[in-house]
Amino acid sequence: MDNTYNKDLENVRPDLVSVSGRLKPDPVSLAQQAKYKQQGLTVTSNNTSIIPRDSAGNIILQENSETNPLLIIEPVTTKITTNSILRVINTQFQYYSFPVSVRTTTSNASIDLNIDLDNLDVDPIFARYKPSADLEPDQAPVSAGANFYSGILMDEVEDGLPQRVNNGYYITKEIKNSGKDLRFRIKLKHQYVAPTGYGTTYFSLIKSGPDYPLNRAWREPFATTSRNAPDVFGSIWPGPDSAQTIYLDEIITNEDFEIGDVFGIGISVGGVDKPNNIFHILIADQSYWVITDASKNVDNWNQEI
């Protein structure tokens, strides 16, 4: 279907010229095109009066017959002219005019920009950490001295403040400037594995900062020499294949830290002989470290009690 109109048509059919000077669609041409748009491009060849077909739609042909119908192939295509597109799509570029005019409205309604930060459900202190995997600490070398503490894994953030330093609690400006004291609640499940004998395990609080040198024994209790002593944060003397749970509930005053300080948990073990299956295990799923505002009466998930 050739839908192209040339300028010669203006001279032949002036009635097709609109007021704007553009050519109107030719009704004869439109009528010719309509049947193809409605019934498809094979509308003529499907006419059984022109090409006889059987009940299955196949063209009826007789072998060696001179009266067979001619095969009609209609080369029909659709052409879209540029003018037809421009009539539908506005391709004219619209320029902006400067300066831009601004419409202003007046209102007597006042906007209160005062926000009560105390009512926001955001606690800049609370954090709950736990180890992501069980820990098998090695015995400290003799050259390191007695009770040399190495940091333990506390890398999984279960809730609250994210970690700026791996396995540590970082003192931000908000924490220091709040004037609040901190409450450390720590639970550590520890197991000593050995065929016979006893081992020792010690824990500490580690502290470091921009103006505070690394101190692996910033807080540590004295070791007890009694294997029957109650669980305390600092030392255990378990028997073979036995486990103990150690709890710490410690207040860290605001005077004990500055912006940028980092706290961690240290461990020191004795009696390790891994070739002979003598070692210690810190059990991750039964251990955690919770830091809260010491002035709040909250549980280990920072929920009010």
The per-residue pLDDT for 97 is 65
Q: What is the DSSP string of 68-103?
A: PPPPP---------HHHHHHHS--PPPPP-SSPP--
* 302 falls within a domain: no
Give the range of the structural domain holding residue 181, as residue numbers without chain letter: 126-293
Is residue 185 one of the residues assigned to a domain? yes
Task: Provide the pLDDT for residue 92.
Answer: 63
In a domain, 17, yes or no: no
Q: How many CB atoms lie within 10 A of CB 271?
A: 16
State residue 255 phi and psi, 5-degree precision: -75, -15
> Considering the domain boundaries, does residue 233 fall inside one?
yes
User: 292, exposed or middle or buried, with CB in 10 Å at 0-12, 13-18, 19+?
Assistant: buried
| 40 inside domain | no
Task: Map tokens 């009704």 to a residue.
Answer: 27
* Per-residue confidence (pLDDT) for residue 47, from 0 to 100: 77
Residue 155 has what pLDDT? 96
pLDDT of residue 294: 97
Q: Is residue 67 part of a domain?
A: no
Give every residue of the chain whose pLDDT is below 70, as ranges: 1-26, 41, 70-121, 142-147, 221-241
Q: What H or E segment, with its residue span, contains residue 8?
A: helix 8-12
Whether residue 175 is contained in a domain is answered as yes
CATH number of residue 193's parent domain:
2.60.120.40
Token digits for 182? 């901190």
pLDDT tens for 257-278 read 999 999 999 998 887 888 888 8
39 is a domain residue: no
Percent helix / strand / coil, the chain, rounded to 5: 15, 30, 55
Q: Cα separation of 182 and 167, whole Å? A: 17
Q: How many domains does the chain have?
A: 1
